[in-house]
Structure 1
Amino acid sequence: MTAGRNNLYSILDALPAVPIRPLFGLKNEELSGIAKEFTVPEYRARQISQGLYRVWVSSLDDITPLPKSFRDQLAQAGYGIGLPQIAETFKSIDGTERYLIAVGDPGAGSAQTVETVWMPEGDDGEEGDGSEAGNFSAAVPGHGRAGDEEASGHHDATICVSSQIGCAVNCQFCLTAKLGIIRNLTAGEIAGQVVAVLKRHGVKIGRDRINLVFMGMGEPFLNYDAFMDAVRLLVEEVGIAESRMTVSTSGIVPGIERFASETVRPKLAISLNASNDKVREEIMPITRKWDIGDLMDAVRKVPLRPRERVTFEYVLLGGVNDQPQHAAEVVRLIRRAGLPAKVNLIAWNPGPGIPYSMPAPDDVARFQQHLIEHEIPAFVRRPRGRDIYAACGQLKQTVEV
């Protein structure tokens, strides 16, 4: 066991134990059930919800509208706030912060960490997706990025959120895949990452423009119910607009088909990463179950909002999928799909034990230019936090950087 890992366990041991029955993550009807359980008026449930999701309290005693007798009863019954806590912080030279966030119960010896990333200026991932969060830029002729109207606070900071500890998809270029799948996160643990980071940075909902990307550890559509419950909590209770959220999937076709029927949903991003099934199967084994044709058929079922575009994410691996013939194949794929779409190009972020190389800058530029010349909006996502293992594909609970 490394000194860094020993240090992490020391940090976890020092954290207050997670309550046996965490309140954070519960829906309004569940909070109403608790009020009924203790025979208190229904409005007490609303006061608990306000404390959890708007005030971001740390303890029951902070929900001061509740009578102390009721707070004591809740504590005696094992209830507590249960907001996930930041156990360790790593800060990049570019301002990005990577957090190891404690989930589970340290007091019961079941504490684990999941990773969440704060990018104070975003990474341009939303650009060109047709939403308020991603105004068109020079990558689409005739469109310009809107000016920043707000004079204070955070402007389009982005939080990258995890849905699982580890990942089962096994993308060959991703460090998270080295962990395998450890477990699914609960809705409270997913939404709690967001609130823990918002609280750390003093973000004011309604004043500050915050984007959420469900692109951290794990495959959201392999933890579908908890992921969507977390989305609804963040929209309906915390107050973050769904148009400010993007979920990325590696191509879980049944999950995409379920997603198509949701009334409250984030924007959709597809982790494509290859221009044909042969290459995609080599780097993303998920293709053995659902090929690119299956994937496109499922995506076409998702009803898009006015001006909304599906994002196709494409990690460029040096000499593997970054050549002109690959760019030409991507053009043909997207045209055949018949979808309003944009492409985010991501230069591969290196990690130990991963047998790929970064693409040459000229190859990245040439790939982007080919897409733009064929009227497909294409953007190069800025790498954020590479030096602290916070960039796309680098999340592996690393405690030494």
Structure 2
Amino acid sequence: MQVTTNSSPVKSRALFGWILEDLAELMRSLDQPAYRAAQLHDALYRQRIASLDQITTLPVAIRERLIAEGYSVGLPEIAQTARSIDGTERYLIRLADGETVETVWMPGGDGGERGDGTPAAAEEENETPATVADDYKRATICISSQVGCAVNCQFCLTARLGIRRNLTAGEIAGQLAIVLNRHNVEVGRDRINLVFMGMGEPFLNYANFMDSVRLLTGAMRIPESRMTVSTSGIIPSIELFANETVRPKLAVSLNASNDEVRESIMPITRKWNIENLLAAVAKVPLRTKERVTFEYVLLKGLNDQLTHARELVRLVGQMRAKINLIVWNPGPDMPFDQPADNDVAAFQKHLRDNNIPAYIRRPRGRDIYAACGQLKRTVEAAPLVSIAI
């Protein structure tokens, strides 16, 4: 596996993803004053305008010239959608080259932020329906970082796709923009949490992932404290991440309490074992009250017994950490089963009895294959339906 550290040197004429300095250079090439770049920047990222001909702050002549020269906003498009009985929506997102990824909208979230020591956690733990105004939204959006995935976790449907390519920073952030537009979200009023937990391993597309983070926190005004990135344990990227000045919260997909079990379900363990992974994670500086999250998918008879809970306590008991327990979400022809409810409860209780915050993450959208580990670029006619864009 190779960790990417450089973005492509060829700049697309799709403008979404360009930083202000790039837009300023473009305006200079058109003999336009610098403030035109700021107007274009604002239209792309704060107004989230989908077409150049809709940017009324730019003169018609500039818009027409940009379009004539092949420039476009270049947002990806929602090709299909599926809606769950719990309100979750899963989108098949079509990119400019025809490749597709999946993105998920979870109204109310899935409880993943609980206990992580941030404002998002406080909202999740304290908010009641009576405190929510009719015009206020709180949701979690799950976005993808690659077309497919190379990590090959055995319990995840995305692994069956293999890896096709990395997403650009604009394609990563663009997923958020089109979902915000679909739901008329007002950034700053509505409480939106963003998780890089869709298709792909963000830390194997590190440069583009971090470029998207800087775009999201800057131009699009999404606080870093409302973002979480999940990694299977790409140690070189974790070490880079530890030195970032702007960064999301960190979640590590651990899923086992010893190397033998983890290697059987996450082959990446052969390259980076648990001991070295935890040592790298321990070097990531945490904000005041913040905890690193360890994601633990419970698989019946494999990693869900009290012996595993005891091993897990020994692994992370001295870290400033919390555990998100995820009851495995089924997929077709997958060689696993869901754990028994009493085993899940006993596992959680043992962690909590040993002063480790442990939460059972709510499954969202299982009926439409939108839950954790179920994203697979679904194109079947049912239950997906085409929607008007």
The answer to whether residue 140 in structure 2 is matched with residue 158 in structure 1 is yes
The answer to whether residue 105 in structure 2 is matched with residue 113 in structure 1 is no
Q: CA deviation at 1:300?
A: 1.1
* Among candidates 61, 71, 90, match of residue 82 of structure 2: 90
Q: CA deviation at 1:113?
A: 1.0
The answer to whether residue 114 in structure 2 is matched with residue 127 in structure 1 is yes
Q: CA deviation at 1:155?
A: 3.8
Partner of 1:373: 353
Listed one character per residue, the Cα deviations across residues 160-208 of structure 1 (whole Å, up to 9, x for unaligned) are: 0100010000000000000000110000000000010000000001100
Partner of 2:25: 33
Alignment of 1:4-19 (within 5 A): none
Cα distance in 1 for partners of 2:132, 2:24 equals: 38
SS in 2 for 1:314: strand
Q: CA deviation at 1:136?
A: 9.0
Cα distance in 1 for partners of 2:363, 2:127 equals: 23
Cα distance in 2 for partners of 1:319, 1:339 equals: 27
Contact 1:20/1:78 (8 A) holds in 2: no
Partner of 1:68: 60
The answer to whether residue 241 in structure 2 is matched with residue 259 in structure 1 is yes
Change in CA separation of 1:184 and 1:330 when aligned onto 2, cut-off 3 Å: same
TM-score, reference length from structure 1: 0.90
Partner of 1:345: 325
Q: Aligned letter for 2:126?
A: R
Identity %: 64
SS in 2 for 1:134: helix
The answer to whether residue 34 in structure 2 is matched with residue 42 in structure 1 is yes
Listed one character per residue, the Cα deviations across residues 113-145 of structure 1 (whole Å, up to 9, x for unaligned) are: 1100000111000010000101298xxxxxx63
Contact 1:153/1:207 (8 A) holds in 2: no
Aligned-residue RMSD, C-alpha: 1.5
Q: Which range is displaced more, 52-61 or 165-174?
A: 52-61
Partner of 1:214: 196
Cα distance in 1 for partners of 2:136, 2:99 equals: 30
The answer to whether residue 126 in structure 2 is matched with residue 145 in structure 1 is yes
Partner of 1:187: 169
Partner of 1:53: 45
Partner of 2:273: 291
Change in CA separation of 1:20 and 1:294 when aligned onto 2, cut-off 3 Å: closer
Please list every run of 5 or more consecutive structure 2 residues that lacks an aligned counterpart in the other structure. Answer: 1-10, 384-389
Cα distance in 2 for partners of 1:251, 1:87 equals: 32
Cα distance in 2 for partners of 1:32, 1:171 equals: 43
Q: How many residue pairs align between the two structures?
A: 370
Q: Aligned letter for 1:344?
A: N
Contact 2:137/2:185 (8 A) holds in 1: no
Cα distance in 1 for partners of 2:312, 2:136 equals: 35
TM-score, reference length from structure 2: 0.93
Contact 1:129/1:308 (8 A) holds in 2: yes
Contact 1:98/1:115 (8 A) holds in 2: yes
Contact 1:113/1:165 (8 A) holds in 2: yes
Q: CA deviation at 1:227?
A: 0.6
Contact 1:25/1:188 (8 A) holds in 2: yes
Please list every run of 5 or more consecutive structure 1 residues that lacks an aligned counterpart in the other structure. Answer: 1-18, 105-109, 138-143
Partner of 2:5: none
Cα distance in 2 for partners of 1:380, 1:136 equals: 17
Cα distance in 1 for partners of 2:215, 2:348 equals: 37
Cα distance in 2 for partners of 1:153, 1:261 equals: 39
Contact 1:133/1:156 (8 A) holds in 2: no
